[in-house]
Amino acid sequence: MIKVVRRLRTLPIRARLSMLVAAAVAFGVAAVSVTCWFIVQGKLYDQVDTQLSNFSLRLSAPEVASLVANCTESTDDSTDRPSVVYMQLVTSDGDTCVIPGSAGVIKTTAKDKDVAANPDPGVRTFHNSTDSDGNNVRVETSLVMVGGPNLNTQANPAVALMFGVSLKDTEATLNDLALILLLVSGIGVVGAGAAGLGVARAGLRPVDKLTEAVEHVARTEDLTIRIPVEEDSEDEIARLSRSFNSMTSSLASSRELQQQLIADAGHELRTPLTSLRTNIELLARSEETGRAIPPADRKALLSSVTAQMTELASLIGDLQTLSRSDAGHQADRLQVVALQETVDAALRRARLRGPELTIRADIQPWYVRAEPSGLERAIVNILDNAVKFSPEGGTVDVILRDGELTVRDHGPGIPSEELPHVFDRFWRSPSARALPGSGLGLSIVARTVQQSGGEVSLTPAAGGGTVATVRLPGAPTPPPELP
């Protein structure tokens, strides 16, 4: 049985559906056929029983007495059997005698003996038996209170009178009915299997298209393929097709982002690497040729190399942070974070980087669900931008209230035409390209805030400067699981 189940699992879905439909129809047809056969059998036996009852009821008491008086010893070699009715007597001991004109001798059963032994004169029974030739006979046995010359009526005055008719015609009718039902059932099962196969093919046609699309993607890596779906269809196949289209669209977008990241990273890395290579070659040539570089120039070259190495390290760190964000799986690292503590830590770092600035802070408690290190890096990036673009001796205002963090600087601001690009990777304002930075800071901010379920925006501030706003869902009190 286990091998059969395993073999069925290896079959195609349409074959399994066809077999299941055929099996279900076969079970239903078999149940109906068997039920029909037994009902017809019961009806035919009722007709035979009615025939026997009518035959026995038409006999008067003198006729019954005459039949009993003329019965002979049972014999199996009777050749003259003009009647189609079996007639014989039986006692409770099983002794029998055949009435002249009987169609043959019926083999007595325990039911016949029980009727003969029953004192109730109205008792009768219908049952099947066989004659001396082995033919099936339908028998009616009823009690009579007269004896015959060949029966010991003094000791046993009660005998049973047995009438029987052959079941040959009835059995032939039942056999023909069974053959017809078998043929109809076979045709029904075959038709059901064919219909099931047709339904399976029609129902699985969208799955075939989906399979072809998946195989095409696996073979060609073409993520632009889409499966047509009817707009008003809401069945499982339509949902599966929409999910596949959404998946390929997401994969295509992810691939484009990766390719764009690689291209942008290559472009951004080329400039510092070229400058770094040039400076190192100048230092190496000075050592090889023995021509000393003036101390001031050598110091400038070393400072330039150090700055370029720092810029490369910062760029590579930003790329790693951004790639980890793009890779997903952030839900496993999310935890409840006290945003006010994260902002305090970022403010301490910002004050070290801009000691000449005045940073005013108004911070209220707020708890969010985020990745602690990523959230701190995002807030540090926002504060770094505010410090970088603030004039010397300027002021930066930081406010955290009801889950909304605003950082306002008093710098030159961002032109309105550049605002849509500030969160793009590697995008830098033309006026800020001379300043240190990789162009990835705000991209990291946007990605981190979005993964925490919030939103971030940059808007011009009244009177000059820029306002960075971060909104994060949370609560002013920690959840119960936190101390």
CATH class of the structural domain 236-325: mainly alpha
Residue with tokens 């009835």: 170
Question: How many C-beta atoms surround the C-beta of residue 421 within 10 A?
Answer: 12
Question: What burial class does residue 126 get, using C-beta atoms within 10 Å of its C-beta: 0-12 exposed, 13-18 middle, 19+ buried?
Answer: middle
Q: Is 346 exposed, middle or buried (0-12, 13-18, 19+ CB in 10 A)?
A: buried
Q: Which residues pair with 361 in a beta bridge?
A: 398
Query: How confident is the model over 362-376, as pLDDT tens digits?
Result: 999 999 988 888 888
Q: What is the pLDDT of residue 387?
A: 87
Q: Which of 124-133, 317-326, 348-357 has the lowest mean pLDDT?
A: 317-326
Mean confidence (pLDDT) of the chain: 78
pLDDT of residue 6: 62
Domain 332-475 is of which CATH architecture?
2-Layer Sandwich (3.30)
Q: Quickly state the pLDDT bin for 191 (edges 50, 70, 90).
A: confident
Closest CA to 323 of 249, 414, 261: 261
Q: What is the pTM of this model?
A: 0.46
User: What tokens were used for 337?
Assistant: 């974070």
Identical fold, 71-166 and 332-475: no
The CA dihedral of 192, 196, 199, 201, to the nearest 10 degrees, is -140
Beta carbons within 8 Å of 159's beta carbon, 6+ residues apart: 68, 89, 90, 91, 116, 143, 144, 146, 147, 148, 151, 153
Q: What residue spans define the domains of the chain?
A: 1-58+169-221, 71-166, 236-325, 332-475
End-to-end Cα separation, the chain, in angstroms:
58
Long-range contact list for 266-272, CB < 8 A, 24+ apart? 267/426, 268/315, 268/426, 268/438, 268/439, 269/312, 269/315, 272/308, 272/311, 272/312, 272/315
Residue whose token pair is 């001031």: 296
| Separation of alpha carbons 109 and 92, rounded Å | 10
C-alpha distances in Å from residue 483, one per residue of 14, 55, 264, 283, 338: 58, 100, 45, 58, 12
The fold for domain 71-166 equals Beta-Lactamase (3.30.450)
